Structure 1
Amino acid sequence: MSAHTRTDYVEDVSPGSGALPPRAWYASSDAVSLPLGGSWRFRLSDTADAQDDSFAAPGYDAGDWAEIQVPGHWVLQGHGSPAYTNHRYPFPVDPPRVPTENPTGDHLRVFGLPAGWPAGGDAVLRFDGVESCARVWLNGTELGEFKGSRLPHEFAVGALLRPSGNVLAVRVHQWSAGSYLEDQDQWWLPGVFRDVTLLHRPAGGVRDFFVHASYDHVSGTGTLRVDSEVAGRVTVPDLGVDVPTGEPVTVPVEPWTAETPRLYDGVLATEGERVPLRIGFRTVELSDGLIKVNGRPVLFKGVNRHEWHPEKGRALDLATMREDVLLMKRHNVNAVRTSHYPPHPAFLDLCDEYGLWVIDECDLETHGFTEQGWRDNPVDDDRWTPALLDRAARMVERDKNHPSVVIWSLGNEAGTGRGLTATAEWIRARDTSRLVHYEGDHTCRDTDVYSRMYASHAEVERIGRRLDGGPLKRRALPFILCEYAHAMGNGPGGLADYQRLFEAHERLQGGFVWEWIDHGIAHPELGYAYGGDFGEELHDGNFVCDGLLFPDRRPSPGLVEYKKVIEPVAVTGDGTAGTVRVTNKYDFADLSALAFSWTYEVEGEPVDSGSLPVPALAPGESAEVKLPAVPAGAPAGEAYWTVRAVLACETAWAPRDHVVAWGQLPVSARRTPYVAATARPAPGDGVISLGPAVFDARTGALRAIGAVPVTDLRLDVWRAPTDNDDGAAWQGDPRYGPLWRRLGLHRMRHRLDAVEAGEDALTVRTRVAPAARELGLSTVYRWTSDGDRLRLTVSTVPEGDWTVPLPRLGIRFGLATADLVRWYGGGPGEAYPDTRTAARIARWQSTVDELQTPYVRPQENGARIDVRWAELGGLRVEGDPAYWFTARRWTTEQLDAAAHRTDLVPGSGSAAGVWVNLDHGQHGIGSQSCGPGPLPRYHLRAEPAEFSFVFSPVSAPRTG
């Protein structure tokens, strides 16, 4: 081998050379394999041509090289730094050329064959994922090179293997021509990040095969045919099937669906090998303008899923993949779009096993070309078409035997062009059993589905009613939102409003929330890092943290809300009527797997409970179910029936009694708190006493209630803007966070106009207004007491031209200390006007610290909705009407200024230990970080308002 450096392939638009044709991914029963993961020797160079190729020769001394783990990304193991961009290429756009400054990682692994490795046959070296371009040698012989980071590549190596001392050398470049096809809104993370495996291939063994398993819903039969490159036999013991490959057989079967994922174990046996099969019978078709599976329309309740681990990046192990699937199933998610590339193949095995519909997406996105009006876009350049076809073929051939995969996606945000058309034509010719998807072509020239991103509720409704115009073909196709409800930070809002539209119009077949998990990188000083935290010259900040899971895979409030919104059983009715209406919202399953129960609650406390007989309703059916009589001796007060649907037995994805759905039916209304104004303000030495409270005589400021000091109680309209408040820079609609700052709502000033001690009340008149603006809020605080309790009534009247909604409207104050919080109202988690579906009325308790929602970038969070009363720090606060409650150990201003959670220091620079907000109103959340803002009905308009709170001293709740 010559010791030279060859880099011409890096900028070659071809997919590579030397690799075997793509094939189905499977595990053999007979053929041995050798995983080559673990510790590898590693050397990083700044440029593609900084080192020669001598490292690939046997005997090369790499003793002074570093060691890294494979699978893995070298930038997450102390070599270089990760970088995040949404769609802008982090290098000059000059296709297919890439920068000379091209970090290049040389990898070395020396291995021996295990005992018992067969002497005959061949062997294949398989790479399941390398970013972005690799050149491979074995024992000094160059095998070839490849691009296509999230795709498998195999090389024939049988003639090169030795019993021991095999030298596998891999040169990986961060940038290549392939990088132009992988601009996928994610961290750029070079490395060998999926499995590397040596596979023995026995003589006469299976190479590639295609399982065709359709289902006829009329006859209840399935037809199986297995096409195999090498002839053999197919057996399925449970079905009595034993047929040659290529021969169809029709037998009675149970169909596979995401709700009922019935798999049949089979075997494909050739002369040299046995391959286990897991067969799911199902038929996907476009019929009557709808996506149908097994003859029925489906409603996708989906998520987009990038592969992610906060420490390992895209190098996921099986346990992490299984955790994702279990979390999806437990939160009622039934579908996954594999944005924006095929996932690790084991993930699809899990989708088959547990039951998830899958849109499998090609490893293709050229989004950065939008910066230049799509000029020179590879998708419309014939030179790149072979690379596009190669990527599609490697996806389809690898994943074609998975029943969970019901739709192929051509890619994402790659514009349109001849290359996509060629890809769609190839897929349709290869596989007629699935549909084809692509969002970017709104004419639907090459697709079977009309797909959009982030369309507003109003537009989605027009589409549902087929009033959207456009090409006739498009209007006749089913519609999905392949991305919607951008789950960045606090949110997304409006999920329930979307779901009502999906369920009202059959053309609307659901959507996929963007996205599954925050891509924060674990960082010793910052907690979780995002774009810009590694010194990137070009980055898109925390736009990479936009998931329903936090980076550590804890569900966010957004996922809890989504679970409730998409629950497969509706529980509705009037609690006073004595009946509850139960509706089965599954597409295929009846309700026989669920058990129903009732609880009768008064003032948030359970009084009695029992089981509720509900028939095994078929999909779409409803029934009126009689509730028991109100329990004898139940106390008076606000009452609810809470009805739950839980798993009657343990399943593969959740234990028995796992809550699938629930509903609350009000029985009697809440009694509003009343305080007779019997106590009189009593002037003292610079103070005014009123009942249990003491006020500053000059300013009217509340100083204490009983023995509890109170700091700086005043009207508050500011919240630390959420990612959705701040919105995306390209959004055409007003972004509320910037508008609020422009108006100065983050720097409101409070002018004291009068302090009036009357016969039965202390009245403080103020004007609250932003500096440099003429508008304001005329605000009156009226305090009354019955001697034991203190009532505050706040009246506000807007002055001036308020055209912008308020962030919040309420009061805030500081307490010296508080730990445990108890409340009666919505919980257990946070909720806002358009994220409140999952808030259940009950009694709850939490520590102040646990009230905080740990968004990667700090922002408004933690509000509990519909609070009747709350107790903390020695105070009880009742509301008239019910209110939003928030308590934190830092001010809103400190929360607003923080870039990471580690910036939040309890009590730092504050006169109080805990700051409390009691809000009469909150502005909605929406999903304007990359979607529509909150619907108008969730706007908090500046208009006259009056609200009251009743304070009384209580024994401070303690932990434990």
Structure 2
Amino acid sequence: MTRRRTFLMAGTAVVAGVVAGPLGSATTAAASGTVDGAGAGAPADALPQPTVTLTPVPDTVAGVREPVLSLNGSWSISTEPPAEFWRDDVDTSGWPRVEVPGEPAMQGVDVPQDKEFAYRTKVPVPADFAGQRIVLRFDGVYSDARLWVNGAHVRDHRGGFTSWQADITDHVTPGTEAWVTVGVTDRWQDLSYETFYARHRIGGILGDVRLIALPPGHLSSVHVSTTFDTRYRDAVLGLRLTPAGAGALPVRLVLRDPAGAEVLSRSLTPGGPAQYDIAVTAPLKWDAEHPNLYTLELTAGPEGAESTVTRRVGFRQIEVDGKRLLVNGREVKLRGVAHHQVSPTMGRGATGRWDEQDVRLFKEANVNLIRTSHYPPTEALLDAADRYGMYVEEETAVCWVNQQGHDDLLDDPAFKPDWLGQLAEMVERDRNHACVLIWSMGNENIGWGANPQAQWDYLKAADPSRPAVYSHAETYSTGASYDIFTAHYPDVKGQLGGETAKPSLYDEYAHLPAYNVDDLRTDPGVRTFWGETISRFWPKVHDTYGVVGGAIWGGVDEVFPLPGEVSGTAEWGLVDIWRRQKPEYWLAKKAYSPVRVPDAPLLGQRARTPLTVPVSNWFDFTNLSELTVRWRVGGAQGTMPGIDLKPGASGKLSIPHRSWTQGEVLALDFLDDRERLVDSYALPIGPVAAPAPPRPAGSAPAVEESDTSLTLTGAGFSVAFSRTTGLITRAEYGGTTVLTDGPHLHVRGGYLPPWTFGSISVRQKDASTTVVTISGSHGASPVVFDVTVDGTGLLTTTYTIVKAPPGQPDSGYKELGVRFGAPDGADRIDWRTGSLWSVYPDDHIGRPVGTALAVPQHAGSAYRERPGWSWSQDTHSYFLYGKDDAGRETNDFRALRSAVHTFALTRPDGTGVRVESDGSVAARVDRTPPRWVDDGDPGITYQGAWTHARGEGWTHDDFGDTESFSFTAGDWCEFGFDGTGVEWLGGHGSNLGLIDVFIDGRLDTTVDQYAPAKQYQQVVYRKTGLAEGRHTIRLVVTGEKNPSSSGILPLVDAFQALSATTGAARALFVDTHWNYPDFGYGGGDYYRPTVRVVDGTTGAVSLRLGTFATT
């Protein structure tokens, strides 16, 4: 028999004579205190150390017009402040100005590491603050802060993501101005390790700053808890009130329901910390599907000196029952996403408005859990989560302790105040939020020790109303330090939930494409492929007993467009930094859908009877009758309520009868009570015929031969081959060029030596077809192409790799197929393909039917400017290519389409070529780029003591898994190239230095390769505008470095020559085999079969020349 563990407020909840102790151990007790909430209340248990004062922000204060003043705005800053910079007579007129809140780095101010810099501003203190206590509140200063007011030191603080306050009453005079000075240190060994994580120094005032007036008698603390009886009908509202100062404080309590009607009122008189347990009959419950919020109004103090505090209260109770997580007595499954705070203009700062938008976006994506990786969130996020209905796993700012270069601080007593202080501040500020479901004690720390043990002990004493987790739990043996076992990146093919006897939560899983930089640059379609992972993962998580859920990594791209360069880790979000939906957003929404309908044709439907659609309800609390169903089929449409189907049940949805026609499509939209789209389906009625491979027709083309060429001519078309190369030189339809080159054996993810031509021959195969056979080799690998052409313009190219090439990548090739050259002006693709889902947004690159243009129908946006179009129409990626990115065709145009039925590459009039297939091939279009020359290429000259690394753990994300570097000043490397420009692919890192760049023997610039953490495959230098011809680029180790760097090394990964004609050759790639072996993270994602070449490997692709109707 499993034991249900109920998480209740420590020493507070009195329900049916049972007091819940830590971890829900039940002991019989008399009903202590005042159960109905009247009078002085029961003395509250003392809070564990450390105690934190974070006064509830008042809505009103008697006699004060605005009791809360925002100090956000322009502040002076100095990264080299003078001695005693806090003195009032320090001249700040020459200091630059930055906006608060926000990262200085995002505003062009590079703050130092482990060295104090200073903020200053002059604050008007309103005259009506006289007689009040005056408090300064900061909602995040990274990472260490010292505060002075009018030259007087007030307090210090450590920890960059929690709220803290200072009483400055004795240092200011109402009706005058006051100097506020904050000394800030971006500390490298901050527990959050966040500067390392963000790949740039984030130090600064990141959160709101407020000046607050409080009457002498006010509530310094309000703790709210809610518990239910055994039927989960009636509740107890627990209040722990702490008055400021000595003596009794009159408090008037009013509780209003979600509609604003008064539910109850009480008069209370706490004379010190006091507990009140108030019975509430049958309140509306709060859960992520029904975010019913009550309003608690507390008016404290005598008339004329009172202040009012408002709290939103959600009645809900959290329990662990064996390996299940319960909310209000029902099992919940957490459809999660991990979330970093990112503002496109202010970095980790000023994210409140973005965070609220994120909650709304994730709610619309069927997400019900946000994990606040890896620090506490803004109050705006929690307020929105309360309102919209979103569970939150709230994490304290402890990350990567004992790994990634972060010191082992697990047992260091000097850091215990840091571990506990920010944890206590997080709990004190956020414990009253109904949305906070789980406390997390840190992220991916290796091992256990006295400091995390102190965190555990504190949580179990301060707020055992919620379960707690710790990561990495698998790196230590004790099981007493978490209520839910968390693990990261399980294998989609593996067994889930068997790690411990406790529930399992995979609060990082199904990693989005992020580190496979070559894929992301080449093929945006890799993002559509991620849908194969999450569509398999979520049903497995949902159906596995003991697994409470998972959190997709990640929510928002971790990209920081600094003024000088782009920083960050990866474009790993469901949305980008501007909150535009990326392809993965819809794929997550579909996989997480709680309305489960088989996305397949409806078979066995009879005319003039209702259409029946099988449906399952994967909501935790919602009956499908609460939803609205919109349906469309043929010319008919309608709206109907959802069927009566309880959570976890399956049934049949009936659409009103009419005369159905086989081949029609039933469109279904399911909308929730706020008219948000939950899911959509497009279900064919009757069987759908599979696409058939194209078949030859017409009369075999005529053949015309000369000494230099071989030309086939048919009805309205011709194809000319060179006798010198064996390749197509020109294919025409209706007099218009549709191909300029090919066939070429295409492999991506490996190297093929250049093509060496052998022979070409032609023969008529049958009455409809003529075959051109081309033989040659790529190095030691002979290859034969048979190009079969029929009388209508169908070209079927069969390749045979007679002998497999040596040196194939261990993980296999990414693409194997045939490449053809396409002419300028072929700027449109139209396609029909198979797809994972039947419904996609009109601008989604994975839609099964669509049109994409190479050139976007909009004007471009500059670096650090918000794009005014969807992600699919992007032509630039400043993260992947640097802030000087020159651009390319749209993401929609370049994305690989798999399971191709037809894929036409045409001019605007529809003339071009069309891939035709039974769904077994994939196709994409791109420019044929200049070849990246890897750092180990013999064409690069190295002088000095260079190290050439390959296959190391730290080179895995480099181009070609290699990099070169030197420790010696004066060493150099040189690359000669033909063209009008060059790019140097390098990187940034904590031990990299200043590198001189010479073009044609003249110093062009010095590149600083320093960053707090390593960034791979970065275009660190780009030169254009050279005269067409031969040039050189030389990189010289200067021996100098950024003051924050630990070394002088260069990082050389690859070079690429540019030309005025670079990219003019458009290419059509048709793949018979494809995979993304570098996809994902941790190896747990879904992969297609490995693409390997053996002797005799063969494949065939078909193209039709013609003029095609556009879709």
How has the CA–CA distance of structure 1 residues 598 and 352 changed in structure 2, closer, same or farther, with 3 Å as cutoff?
same
1:712 matched to 2:735: no
8 Å CA contact retained: 1:703, 1:710: yes
1:335 matched to 2:343: no
Partner of 1:379: 410
1:904-943 correspondence to structure 2 within 5 Å: 909-910=1061-1062, 912=1064, 914-924=1066-1076, 927-928=1079-1080, 930-932=1081-1083, 935=1086, 937-942=1088-1093
Look up the SS of the partner of 1:868 in the other structure: strand
Separation of aligned partners in 2, 1:211 and 1:219: 18
Partner of 1:782: 787
8 Å CA contact retained: 2:755, 2:776: yes
Separation of aligned partners in 2, 1:186 and 1:718: 35
Partner of 1:483: 508
How has the CA–CA distance of structure 1 residues 477 and 312 changed in structure 2, closer, same or farther, with 3 Å as cutoff?
same
Which of 813, 823, 826 lines up with 1:815 in the alignment? 823
**Higher percent of residues as helix:** 1
Which of 423, 430, 446 lines up with 2:481 in the alignment? 446
C-alpha deviation, 1:669, in angstroms:
1.0
Separation of aligned partners in 2, 1:191 and 1:150: 11
8 Å CA contact retained: 1:664, 1:840: no
Provide structure 2 residue ranges, at least 5 long, that are not aligned to the other structure: 1-49, 244-248, 269-274, 515-519, 521-525, 606-611, 857-871, 882-887, 934-958, 960-982, 986-1016, 1023-1055
8 Å CA contact retained: 2:601, 2:688: no
8 Å CA contact retained: 1:340, 1:364: yes
1:565 matched to 2:591: yes
8 Å CA contact retained: 1:25, 1:399: no
How has the CA–CA distance of structure 1 residues 887 and 106 changed in structure 2, closer, same or farther, with 3 Å as cutoff?
same
1:795-874 correspondence to structure 2 within 5 Å: 795-797=799-801, 799-800=803-804, 804-813=811-820, 814-825=822-833, 839-847=846-854, 849=856, 850=872, 856-857=879-880, 862-871=895-904, 872-873=906-907, 874=911
Is 611-620 or 886-895 further displaced after alignment?
Answer: 886-895
Q: Per-residue CA shift, 1:514-570, capped at 9, x if unaligned?
A: 2212222225686xx136xxxxxxxxxxx3433222222222222222111111211
1:219-298 correspondence to structure 2 within 5 Å: 219-230=232-243, 232-238=251-257, 240-243=263-266, 244=268, 246-271=276-301, 272-298=306-332
The one-letter code of the counterpart of 2:297 is V
How has the CA–CA distance of structure 1 residues 632 and 641 changed in structure 2, closer, same or farther, with 3 Å as cutoff?
closer
Partner of 2:459: 427
The one-letter code of the counterpart of 1:504 is D
1:74 matched to 2:100: no
Q: Per-residue CA shift, 1:788-842, capped at 9, x if unaligned?
A: 332324244563487753311333222221333322235799999xxx9994534
Separation of aligned partners in 2, 1:892 and 1:826: 32
8 Å CA contact retained: 1:695, 1:703: yes
Partner of 1:124: 135
Q: Per-residue CA shift, 1:670-721, capped at 9, x if unaligned?
A: 44233315223321553312321322252252511311241222345434xx
1:122-161 correspondence to structure 2 within 5 Å: 122-161=133-172
Look up the SS of the partner of 1:52 in the other structure: coil
How has the CA–CA distance of structure 1 residues 357 and 445 changed in structure 2, closer, same or farther, with 3 Å as cutoff?
same
Partner of 1:391: 422
Separation of aligned partners in 2, 1:360 and 1:629: 50
How has the CA–CA distance of structure 1 residues 274 and 613 changed in structure 2, closer, same or farther, with 3 Å as cutoff?
closer
The one-letter code of the counterpart of 2:557 is D
Separation of aligned partners in 2, 1:590 and 1:205: 44
8 Å CA contact retained: 2:903, 2:915: yes
1:35 matched to 2:70: yes
Separation of aligned partners in 2, 1:881 and 1:718: 22
Look up the SS of the partner of 1:919 in the other structure: strand
Separation of aligned partners in 2, 1:525 and 1:191: 18
C-alpha deviation, 1:203, in angstroms:
2.2
Partner of 1:8: none
Partner of 1:879: 916
Separation of aligned partners in 2, 1:181 and 1:599: 53
Separation of aligned partners in 1, 2:564 and 2:160: 31
Separation of aligned partners in 1, 2:51 and 2:502: 38
How has the CA–CA distance of structure 1 residues 893 and 284 changed in structure 2, closer, same or farther, with 3 Å as cutoff?
farther
1:947 matched to 2:1100: yes
8 Å CA contact retained: 1:124, 1:158: yes
8 Å CA contact retained: 2:812, 2:1077: no
Separation of aligned partners in 1, 2:461 and 2:802: 65
- Fraction of identical pairs, as percent: 24
Partner of 2:1029: none
Partner of 2:337: 303
8 Å CA contact retained: 1:263, 1:278: yes
Task: Give the number of equivalent residue pairs.
Answer: 845
C-alpha deviation, 1:35, in angstroms:
1.1
Separation of aligned partners in 1, 2:442 and 2:297: 33
C-alpha deviation, 1:252, in angstroms:
0.5
Partner of 1:89: none
C-alpha deviation, 1:110, in angstroms:
0.7
Which of 224, 247, 251 lines up with 1:211 in the alignment? 224
How has the CA–CA distance of structure 1 residues 295 and 881 changed in structure 2, closer, same or farther, with 3 Å as cutoff?
same
Look up the SS of the partner of 2:190 in the other structure: helix
8 Å CA contact retained: 1:798, 1:942: no
Which of 664, 679, 682 lines up with 2:700 in the alignment? 679
1:174 matched to 2:186: yes
Look up the SS of the partner of 1:799 in the other structure: coil
Separation of aligned partners in 2, 1:766 and 1:508: 57
Separation of aligned partners in 2, 1:926 and 1:594: 41
Q: Per-residue CA shift, 1:701-752, capped at 9, x if unaligned?
A: 2511311241222345434xxxxxxxxxxxxxxxxxxxx44xx25x564644
C-alpha deviation, 1:934, in angstroms:
5.0
Q: Per-residue CA shift, 1:841-892, capped at 9, x if unaligned?
A: 3444555555668653269961123332233222251422224232234548
Partner of 1:197: 210
Is 892-901 or 430-439 further displaced after alignment?
Answer: 892-901
C-alpha deviation, 1:479, in angstroms:
0.8
Separation of aligned partners in 1, 2:404 and 2:678: 47
Provide structure 1 residue ranges, at least 5 long, that are not aligned to the other structure: 1-18, 83-100, 469-474, 532-542, 601-605, 720-739
How has the CA–CA distance of structure 1 residues 661 and 24 changed in structure 2, closer, same or farther, with 3 Å as cutoff?
farther
C-alpha deviation, 1:139, in angstroms:
0.9
The TM-score, its normalising length taken from structure 2, stands at 0.70
Which of 568, 572, 591 lines up with 1:546 in the alignment? 572
Q: Per-residue CA shift, 1:740-789, capped at 9, x if unaligned?
A: 44xx25x5646444332325444344568665xx5x47443332223x33
8 Å CA contact retained: 1:830, 1:863: no
Partner of 2:608: none
8 Å CA contact retained: 1:340, 1:411: yes
8 Å CA contact retained: 1:640, 1:667: no
8 Å CA contact retained: 1:321, 1:347: yes
Separation of aligned partners in 1, 2:207 and 2:1063: 52
Q: CA RMSD in A?
A: 3.6
1:645 matched to 2:682: no
8 Å CA contact retained: 1:516, 1:547: yes
Separation of aligned partners in 2, 1:947 and 1:608: 43
8 Å CA contact retained: 1:213, 1:282: yes
How has the CA–CA distance of structure 1 residues 905 and 363 changed in structure 2, closer, same or farther, with 3 Å as cutoff?
same
Partner of 2:13: none
